[in-house]
Chains A and B, each alone.
Chain A
Amino acid sequence: MDDLSMHRLDVDGALAEAAEPLGGVSRAGFLGASLGTSLALLGLGAAQAEARQGASDLDILNYALTLEYLQAAFYTEAERMGALKGRTERAAQTVGAVERAHVAAFQDLLGKQAIRRPSFDFQGVTEKPQAFLKTAVAFEDLAVAAYKGQATNIKAESALAAAVAIHSVEARHAAWMRYLFGANPARTAFDQPASKQEVTQIVRSTNFVTGNPSTKRKRAPRFTG
């Protein structure tokens, strides 16, 4: 066992920076032709129709979207910080583009039922190559376990097909980041799943998520004119 799990991450609270809002991430801009095509081939349109029928599939897809928001924001911030070099920088760019494509796919799939992007504070880990890689490993390993934990909960067949097709890509990312970090890319013969509760608890313990947007206005706007 190594110590790369999310809850053991050494996130230095003293380096807390104002969280990048990350609201400027353009969906269309990052969805390259090949990414768009591969997602379309999975029949996400069909998944959308089926998903609407099951409340639990909607919950699962929004849960997946949350994890993708987290990952996309992390890589996007790392790119903007410009502290990564060489193959780590290239990996961050490639993986970031893919995570943003996953976000876009789930947003399209969920339509108006998609939860909104939370705000994040990565506490400086995007500014130091080693801290970045360590966090990337933890995120990707967690994503693998999270998708795996939902495999048997998904009802709609096309939603399952989409989830498994993303699940293995997260595993590729995990191995890639582990390789760059100098850790064993495949440390066991069987990857174990994690429940939504476990994953949520781990994400919460990092304090990377600083705010969840409310879905409704709590107060009426004030008119001064």
Chain B
Amino acid sequence: MHIGQGALSRTEFIAAGAVAAGAAVAAGVIAGPVEDTDAQTDKDVEALQLLLLLEYTETAFYDEALKRGDLSGEVEAYAQAVLDQEREHLAFVRKALGSKAGEPPRFAFGDATRDPSQFAATAAELEDLAVAAYNGQATNVSKPTLEAAATVVSVEARHAAWIRSIAGEPPAPDATDTPMSADEVRQGLERIGLRS
């Protein structure tokens, strides 16, 4: 990769996600031209790879459901609004990873992108998984990455509560959202339709 590319993308990641990251951005710019190591820790990259997989899955899921055209009303409006936001999240995480961002995997969502009630149940599962994934990585990453990821996780939680509201499920069943490990998240994504 280009020297400094990681630092640049990290700077943009922060700038897009946080208003009060001036000092961190300045530190990144100073460290940038030398090496990438200061820009993102190995753990940052590892965490961001997991979040990338998640954002790919979310984007693919909503995109396929809308293309199949079997959703209507409130559920369709939800899918459209959330797809737009997941695309922004995906671009955000891809940019943060720069050349370390992998290509989209393959998926097989089955009837979950066709049948409206299966769609709602799977969307809720996926959004809950996203919340647990981001929360699970919060203590693994550097502060700049945490600051950026924090702007995304609450939006995933909003999506989860939104689709649960539509489906008549409790939008916030617990006092805390339990975090999940990377392995648990991968297993969850595979259950939903991640194939490679």
Q: Which residues of A contact B (CB under 8 A)?
A: 34-35, 38-39, 41-42, 94-95, 98, 101-102, 105, 144, 148-149, 151-152, 157, 160-162, 164-176, 179-180, 184-186, 188-193, 195
Contact = CB atoms under 8 A, between A and B. Distances in A.
B152 interface: yes
A98 B175 contact: yes
13 contacts: A148-B150, A157-B139, A165-B176, A166-B175, A166-B176, A167-B154, A168-B131, A168-B135, A169-B174, A171-B155, A174-B158, A186-B158, A193-B18
Contacts of A38: 174-176, 178
B82 to A, nearest CB: 7
Main secondary structure of the interface of B (DSSP, over half): helix
A152 B143 contact: yes
Contacts, number: 153
Band of interface residues on B: 35 or more
Contact of B177 (A169, A188, A192): A169
B175 A176 contact: no
Interface in B139-159: 139, 143, 146-147, 150-159
B109 interface: no
B135 A164 contact: yes
A38 B88 CA distance: 32
B144 to A, nearest CB: 8
Interface in B112-147: 131, 134-135, 138-139, 143, 146-147
Contacts of A151: 138, 146-147, 150
B98 interface: no
Contacts of B105: none
B187 interface: no
Contacts of A144: 154
A41 B16 CA distance: 33
Given A38-B174, A151-B138, A152-B143, A164 B158 contact: no
Contacts of A161: 135, 138-139, 179
Nearest to A34: B174
Contacts of A185: 158-159, 161-162, 165
Interface in B1-30: 16-20
A162 B151 contact: no
